């Protein structure tokens, strides 16, 4: 059992780090792992704590890769309180981005609250994951082929942020890729590739924090099993490393206009999930 637990943690950390940022749905992969792989009996509380730890690792990956923009977001509002050397252009861009991120977070939170029961049922269904992966692949295909990418941050409007935030909210269903839906949505709205990706992953920060808090609130009264500290740290480290690698690789693919390549993977895995969920 101990060897099986360590193997499960290794696989979970790598899968979480890669699929959290690549547009292939991390939640969909994790559901399929749970359905088709008999995981070690850790108990729901320990699994929730493990999920929270790998989510924290992916949060660190976003903060590291986009550290310059995060630094700008921190500096912009503080410059109104403290004496900070910052240009008016940088301050305006930072505050504008703050506003757009706050607007985009609203529909994500509302969808998560309103559809909680449907989401819980979907997290036990390979068929639901398969259908969602096919939808994700279709969006990626059209976004990769038909997007006109030339709009900059100063050209983004509140409706753009609302639509991208709604796309992120829908991605709470396993199989709907958060990064695929938000980046694809941004590209179809005409955003420049780098801006679509940057806005997508910055918008993910409050979503990841929210997911972590929900998991921690469910287990806040449970005692921590310190014997599992090693597996938790290993899973988190693997999620951090693979997350940074996946994120940087995705940014390079976007620059080359290759987002649509992931559509074929989503279609293939979606068809497998439909077949497996129906006949296995």
Helix, coil or strand: residue 191:
strand
* CA distance linking residue 262 with residue 141, whole number of Å: 8
Task: Tell the burial category of 257 from Cβ atoms under 10 Å away from its Cβ (0-12, 13-18, 19+).
Answer: middle
Q: What is the pLDDT, as a whole number, of residue 168?
A: 94
**Can you give the residue range of the structural domain that contains 230?**
2-279
Measured distance CA(38)–CA(61) in Å, rounded: 29
Instruction: Tell me what pLDDT residue 225 has.
Output: 62
d(CA 232, CA 227): 10
pLDDT, tens digit, for every residue of 76-127?
999 988 888 888 999 999 999 999 999 999 999 898 888 766 666 666 678 8
Predicted structure pTM score: 0.88
Question: Which pLDDT score is estimated for 208?
Answer: 86
**pLDDT value, residue 64:** 96
For residues 132 and 80, what is the distance between their CA atoms, to the nearest angstrom? 44
Helix H or strand E encompassing 161: helix 158-170
Cβ atoms of 278 and 56 within 8 Å: the answer is: no
pLDDT at 145: 83
Model pLDDT, residue 213:
80
Q: What is the pLDDT of residue 245?
A: 96
Count of structural domains, the chain: 1
- Residues of the chain short of pLDDT 50, as ranges, are 1
Q: Which residues pair with 191 in a beta bridge?
A: 151
DSSP bridge partners of 151: 191
The predicted structure's pLDDT at residue 257: 84
Give me 209's structure tokens: 């924090």
- Give the per-residue pLDDT at 162: 97
In the block, tokens 């981005």 appear at: 97
pLDDT of residue 247: 95
């Amino acid at each position: 059992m101990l060897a099986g637990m360590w193997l499960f943690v290794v696989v979970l950390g790598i899968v979480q780090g890669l699929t959290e940022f690549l547009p292939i749905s991390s939640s969909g992969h994790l559901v399929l792992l749970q359905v088709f792989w008999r995981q070690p009996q850790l108990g729901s509380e320990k699994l929730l704590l493990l999920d929270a730890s790998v989510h924290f690792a992916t949060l660190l990956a976003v903060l590291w890769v986009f550290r310059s923009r995060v630094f700008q977001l921190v500096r912009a509002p503080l410059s109104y309180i403290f004496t900070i050397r910052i240009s008016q252009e940088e301050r305006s861009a930072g505050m504008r981005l703050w506003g757009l991120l706050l607007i985009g977070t609203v529909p994500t939170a509302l969808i998560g609250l309103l559809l909680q029961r449907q989401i819980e049922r979907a997290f036990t269904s390979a068929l639901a994951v398969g259908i969602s992966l096919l939808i994700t692949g279709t969006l990626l295909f059209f976004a990769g082929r038909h997007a006109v990418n030339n709009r900059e941050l100063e050209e983004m409007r509140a409706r753009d942020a609302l639509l991208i935030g709604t796309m992120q909210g829908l991605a709470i269903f396993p199989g709907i890729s958060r990064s695929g839906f938000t980046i694809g949505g941004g590209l179809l709205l005409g955003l420049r590739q780098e801006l679509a990706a940057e806005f997508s992953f910055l918008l993910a920060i409050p979503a990841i924090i929210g997911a972590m808090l929900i998991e921690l609130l469910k287990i806040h009264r449970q005692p921590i099993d310190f014997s599992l500290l090693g597996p938790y740290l290993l899973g988190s480290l693997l999620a951090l490393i693979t997350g940074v690698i996946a994120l940087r690789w995705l940014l390079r693919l976007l620059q080359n206009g290759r987002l649509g390549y992931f559509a074929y993977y989503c279609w293939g895995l979606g068809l497998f999930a439909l077949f497996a969920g129906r006949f296995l």
